Amino acid sequence: MTTGLTRQFPGGVGLDSLSIDVAPGEVLALLGPNGAGKTTTVRLLNGVLAPDAGSATVLGLDPVTAGDELRARTGVLTEHAGLDDRLTARENLRYAAMVRNLRGPAIESRIEELLHRFGMTERADRLVRGASTGQRKRLGLARALLHDPDVLFLDEPTSGLDPTATRDVVELIGSLASEHGRTIVLATHFLGEAGRLADRMAVLDRGSLIAFGRPDDLAAELWDGMECDLDLGGSPSAAAIDAANAVSGVRDTTPHARGITIRVSTPDVVAGVVRSLVAHQVDVHAAVPRPPTLEDVYFEIEARRALETPTTTPPPTGPPAPPPMRKRVRT
């Protein structure tokens, strides 16, 4: 939990009065463009950076006064993993264990288990110098997990990875999240992985929190009603579009090559649209609800912010101003 957490840098604000809470067992995605303050937040929460104002508690501990105690229960994967190139993968883990004062046969078998789990057994005894970015990230994750931490901070865990390595790391993170109520704070500018993993999202922009909540709840605030795609087996006739538009509760319709995407006030309106189309001799092959993804929500928040505040700093809280409707683009 943070209250008014603030950190200035000589060049400007790193983080401005951040107040959020993270529930145990939750995956929180910290999102935002480069320079938004994601890394600063992770560093403040882990006590490697001190705030200028405000405070935080993590696992009931103050990162400023109880940093060592806290870091004994948290694990961090930093942006650049920070491994020692001159050591092998296994030596890197042994060294990290030594720094943490973890010794004996138990930690040796833990290292073995982690190397295996993260697909590093074969490269365990080769120098890290020649390792790929994906291998480094996996080794960094293994190191962050040596002491089985309750809270895991992951800063850009998939940056620089190819699609296959990204998928592997995202799957690993998903499995780590489901273990014994572990809490994960995931700082990323990749929305796909955030969408797959996060329970809640906090969107930062130039140090300010501009949105915080479950993607579904934020979507409900952003958009009126829901979208549903009607597959008509081909591009719709003008009569079909009119028939859909005529149904009460239809907010708007977007024709496309295989049918129509409709926005409706409530889900039950879809049945009315299907009945109306059938009455007009239009076959409906499928009606597929299109709930907004985290990515849709993020882009809408960014777009509205760009409209609201071209230059100045916005108020950090409160619902967004009157919604300029913007169609979500799907491929």
Ligand X SMILES: Nc1ncnc2c1ncn2[C@@H]1O[C@H](COP(=O)(O)OP(=O)(O)O)[C@@H](O)[C@H]1O
Footprint on this chain of ligand X (rule: CB under 6 A): 9-12, 14, 32, 34-40
Which residue number, 30 or 93, has a Cβ lying nearer to ligand X? Answer: 30
Least Cβ distance, residue 51 to ligand X (angstroms): 13
Least Cβ distance, residue 229 to ligand X (angstroms): 34
Least Cβ distance, residue 45 to ligand X (angstroms): 12
Give the interface segment with Mg ion, choosing from 37-45, 116-124, 196-204, 276-284 (CB under 5 A): 37-45
Which residue number, 164 or 312, has a Cβ lying nearer to ligand X? Answer: 312
Task: Provide the edge-to-edge strand list for the sheet that holds 53-56.
Answer: 12-18, 2-9, 53-56
Which residue number, 35 or 316, has a Cβ lying nearer to Mg ion? Answer: 35
Question: How far, in Å, are 89, 250, 268, 270, 272 from residue 280 at the CA level?
Answer: 67, 17, 19, 15, 12
Give the interface segment with Mg ion, choosing from 35-43, 218-226, 264-272, 287-295 (CB under 5 A): 35-43
Which residue number, 47 or 292, has a Cβ lying nearer to Mg ion? Answer: 47
Which residue pairs, CB below 8 angstroms and at least 24 apart, start in 266-272?
A: 266/225, 266/226, 267/226, 267/228, 270/228, 272/247, 272/248
Least Cβ distance, residue 203 to ligand X (angstroms): 11
Which residue number, 37 or 51, has a Cβ lying nearer to Mg ion? Answer: 37
Which residue number, 33 or 233, has a Cβ lying nearer to ligand X? Answer: 33
Q: Is 203 helix (H, G, I), strand (E, B) or coil?
A: strand
Q: C-alpha angle with apex 157: 153 to 160, nearest 5 degrees? A: 155
Note whether 36 and 205 are within 8 A (CB).
Answer: yes
- From the list Mg ion, ligand X, none, pick the one residue 151 interacts with, judged by a Cβ distance below 5 to 8 Å according to partner type: none
- From the list Mg ion, ligand X, none, pick the one residue 14 interacts with, judged by a Cβ distance below 5 to 8 Å according to partner type: ligand X
Rounded distance between C-alpha atoms, residue 151 and residue 184, angstroms: 6
Note whether 17 and 52 are within 8 A (CB).
Answer: no
Number of residues that bind Mg ion (CB under 5 A): 2
- Answer yes or no whether residue 46 interacts with Mg ion by CB under 5 A: no
Q: What is the CA radius of gyration of the chain?
A: 24
- From the list Mg ion, ligand X, none, pick the one residue 40 interacts with, judged by a Cβ distance below 5 to 8 Å according to partner type: ligand X
Least Cβ distance, residue 43 to ligand X (angstroms): 8
180: tokens are 């014994």
For residue 162, give the nearest of 154, 170, 173 by alpha carbon: 170
Least Cβ distance, residue 311 to ligand X (angstroms): 16
Which residue number, 51 or 236, has a Cβ lying nearer to ligand X? Answer: 51
Rounded distance between C-alpha atoms, residue 76 and residue 94, angstroms: 16
Beta strands in 139-256 (DSSP E): 151-155, 183-187, 200-205, 208-213, 226-231, 250-256
Rounded distance between C-alpha atoms, residue 213 and residue 315, angstroms: 17
Rounded distance between C-alpha atoms, residue 171 and residue 141, angstroms: 12
Which residue number, 38 or 143, has a Cβ lying nearer to Mg ion? Answer: 38
Q: Is 261 helix (H, G, I), strand (E, B) or coil?
A: strand
Least Cβ distance, residue 32 to ligand X (angstroms): 5
Give the interface segment with Mg ion, choosing from 31-39, 57-65, 220-228, 259-267 (CB under 5 A): 31-39
Give the interface segment with Mg ion, choosing from 32-40, 63-71, 138-146, 235-243 (CB under 5 A): 32-40
- From the list ligand X, Mg ion, none, pick the one residue 157 interacts with, judged by a Cβ distance below 5 to 8 Å according to partner type: none
Q: Is 229 helix (H, G, I), strand (E, B) or coil?
A: strand
Least Cβ distance, residue 179 to Mg ion (angstroms): 25
- Answer yes or no whether residue 188 interacts with Mg ion by CB under 5 A: no
- Answer yes or no whether residue 39 interacts with Mg ion by CB under 5 A: yes
